[in-house]
Structure 1
């Protein structure tokens, strides 16, 4: 059943909102007469439940390992009969994209709940927790996580549908989330996996070579187009043998930006097994979604 990602600044109240959703879903399941709804279970996954401390976010290597641990915990329970509420540091769009692929691979919907607590209020709550000894992040780490937070964008398929929850709202939009993820009749929308999102071991010996080569060709095509259209804002770059074009924003991306997006994409898709044409199409999707931010 659905994967619900909770996102927000540190100390924004993500766990409190997650517990509100857990209670709501429990009541919906208990009060339903539909056997398809009755068989649903709920899994709430947070850093504490998988044995992660706040200190792991202070350095790149421990944080990378922590994300892998968190992702693995989700994959173990993600299926069509389980509502998974992922209450963690889902602040990196590439990580949300990875979990979107995991959900689509098992043909279940996903959504993002953005806990929209202002950063000033988060800072107050964090400092209060530190002083009381009940949690919180060290000030330098808190500011670093706030700086790196990549706000969910409902225009990106991996962040959609997006439910933004203002700080002063007493309850989350639980009815709307239930309707989008489970459906009023317990029949959630069927999600069809495709070659671009099904996670399969890379069986082709030259897969990593093709991944590197295909993405490099796309970046080269974009770079050449920008050199030929200097001073023009935006535009569509036609990529040979691809089904769609790369739509550039008004402010053209720099080559270092393109290379950074390329490295992110390769990291996310290293374990896939895709044909070269699908690599191009998925990379173009990734770029277009990134440019919309």
Structure 2
């Protein structure tokens, strides 16, 4: 069942809003006569109940490990009979994209709830929490996290539907969230095509997977070499439905090879035709470039 990603500046009131959501959803579940809904359980995940200290965000390695911990917990709890409220900053759009893909693979709806507290108010509440000894982020860490925050954009599919909760609103749009994710407006979610493919049976499939993706990476590298200094660009791949839409910053060969290896790992147990490999790899690259 649904995944709700809470996103906002540090000290913006994310946990307070998450508790409002949890309480309202619990009431709706308890009052429901629908057997499917009455079996639902709510999992509220945040740094505190995952055993993560605020200081993990002070270093790249510990922050990466913290995101991995949250990701693992979401994947563990995201079942047919659960509602997962991921109460964290979720400030990196690439991470939100990964969780969007995870929810889609589980055929469950997802949304992003953006806690729209102005940064000045967040700074004020953070300083008060530090002074009171009740929490808060160290000042330099707070400012760094604010600087790095990538605000959700409802125009992108991984941040949609997007619900923004202004600071002075008493509650989030609770009824709308319930209807969209669980109630009458909830829609069936189709997983990505790569997650529903038959097991590989063709003897030369892995060879084709390796060669096709390698050829596309080589095509990207050759195009960048022929167009030095150009920002972005589109590359047409013969036999693929869509063009590759390059990001503004040039892509190094190690980065491209890393993406190729990730794609191969995801699809090595599937059976695809050569043209289908092209389509999926091009779509994977475009989604990754947009989320970066």
- What is residue 155 of structure 2 aligned with on the other side? 155
| CA pair 30-221 structure 1, distance change in 2 beyond 3 A | farther
- What is residue 253 of structure 1 aligned with on the other side? 248
Aligned-pair Cα RMSD in Å: 3.4
Matched, 1:29 2:23: no
- What is residue 288 of structure 2 aligned with on the other side? 286
- What is residue 80 of structure 1 aligned with on the other side? 80
- What is residue 90 of structure 1 aligned with on the other side? 90
Give the match's secondary structure for 2:217.
helix
Aligned length: 280
Structure 1 unaligned residues grouped into runs of 5+: none
Answer yes or no: is the 8 Å Cα contact 1:265–1:283 preserved in 2: yes
Deviation at 1:226, TM superposition (A): 5.2
2:191 to 193, 202, 205: 193
Deviation at 1:23, TM superposition (A): 0.9
Structure 2 unaligned residues grouped into runs of 5+: 198-204
Matches within 5 A, 1:51-70: 51-70=51-70
Give the match's secondary structure for 1:97.
helix
- What is residue 241 of structure 1 aligned with on the other side? 239
Give the match's secondary structure for 1:86.
strand
TM-score (structure 2 length as normaliser): 0.82
1:137-194 deviations in Å (ceiling 9; x for gaps): 111111111111111111221111111111111110111111111122xx73221212
Deviation at 1:267, TM superposition (A): 8.7
Deviation at 1:37, TM superposition (A): 1.5
- What is residue 202 of structure 2 aligned with on the other side? none
- From the CA coordinates, give the structure whose radius of gyration is larger: 2
| CA pair 207-236 structure 1, distance change in 2 beyond 3 A | closer
| CA pair 268-43 structure 1, distance change in 2 beyond 3 A | farther
TM-score (structure 1 length as normaliser): 0.82
Matched, 1:167 2:161: no
Answer yes or no: is the 8 Å Cα contact 2:221–2:253 preserved in 1: no
Deviation at 1:255, TM superposition (A): 1.3
Query: Structure 1 residues 267-276 or 189-198, which shifts more?
Result: 267-276
Answer yes or no: is the 8 Å Cα contact 2:243–2:282 preserved in 1: no
Answer yes or no: is the 8 Å Cα contact 2:3–2:103 preserved in 1: yes
Q: Distance between the aligned counterparts of 2:34 and 2:74, measured in 1?
A: 26
- What is residue 273 of structure 1 aligned with on the other side? 267
